[in-house]
Chains A and B, each alone.
Chain A
Amino acid sequence: NAGVMQNPRHLVRRRGQEARLRCSPMKGHSHVYWYRQLPEEGLKFMVYLQKENIIDESGMPKERFSAEFPKEGPSILRIQQVVRGDSAAYFCASSPPGQANSGANVLTFGAGSRLTVL
């Protein structure tokens, strides 16, 4: 049973380009979460999605960032017109259905995608 798969593991972009990060949740999981970790900083929640729905985007920057989790395929975190400050590790996590509103909900994280903006 594969865990949470993220790709690419490393991505280099020049300022102004677009970055697309993909996340395939664990089999049977229907909830996806994205976190960002800036260098030498903690993990910051960005967005929480279920299939075809954004549930909580309270941590998403207002501009240039978007996320989706289509009915088929992986979740995508898209960063338009990247700037150097977007350089960070982006982690995806997933959890099974029916537990999101439980305090016992456990998240399984992927290995992360490391974005470097030149």
Chain B
Amino acid sequence: DAKTTQPNSMESNEEEPVHLPCNHSTISGTDYIHWYRQLPSQGPEYVIHGLTSNVNNRMASLAIAEDRKSSTLILHRATLRDAAVYYCILKGGNQGGKLIFGQGTELSVKP
């Protein structure tokens, strides 16, 4: 399985944008880039996913590099409730339905 590399932790100030990076240099052409997050004491929560083009939804934006070897999850205005572990995961069609989680980035948000 193609692997992703994320910083262990990041800090942000409330109401400021947050850019969470993810490197995936061995991504294959059919791999989608997924982001999930896990708030303290809760189950993982889907955030966003994309293949080649940048994506926006009500939670976040996903910026995908032109060569697809990296991507960035953008939270436009961080709130205290965004403090969580954020996971960048590659999902291809040849691994069945499962997701393989790495260590993720622990985001802390300061008031």
Contact = CB atoms under 8 A, between A and B. Distances in A.
Interface of A: 4, 31, 33, 35, 42-45, 48, 55-56, 91, 93, 95, 99-112
For A35, A48, A105, which residue has the most chain B Cβ atoms within 10 angstroms? Answer: A105
Given A33-B98, A45-B98, A101 B93 contact: yes
Given A48-B98, A95-B97, A103 B92 contact: yes
Contact of A103 (B42, B51, B87, B100): B51
B30 interface: yes
A101 B46 CA distance: 18
**Per DSSP, are chain B's interface residues mostly helix, strand or loop, or mixed?**
loop
Given A42-B101, A42-B103, A102 B96 contact: no
Interface residues of B, number: 26
A10 to B, nearest CB: 11
A42 B31 contact: no
Given A103-B92, A104-B32, A109 B97 contact: no
8 contacts: A33-B97, A43-B44, A48-B97, A56-B96, A91-B44, A99-B97, A101-B94, A101-B97
Contacts of B101: 35, 42-45
Contacts of B100: 45
Interface of B: 30-32, 34, 38, 42-46, 49, 51, 87, 91-94, 96-104
A114 to B, nearest CB: 9
Contacts of A91: 43-44
Nearest to B91: A103
A106 to B, nearest CB: 5
Given A42-B101, A103-B30, A48 B96 contact: yes
A3 to B, nearest CB: 9
Contact of A109 (B30, B45, B51, B98): B45
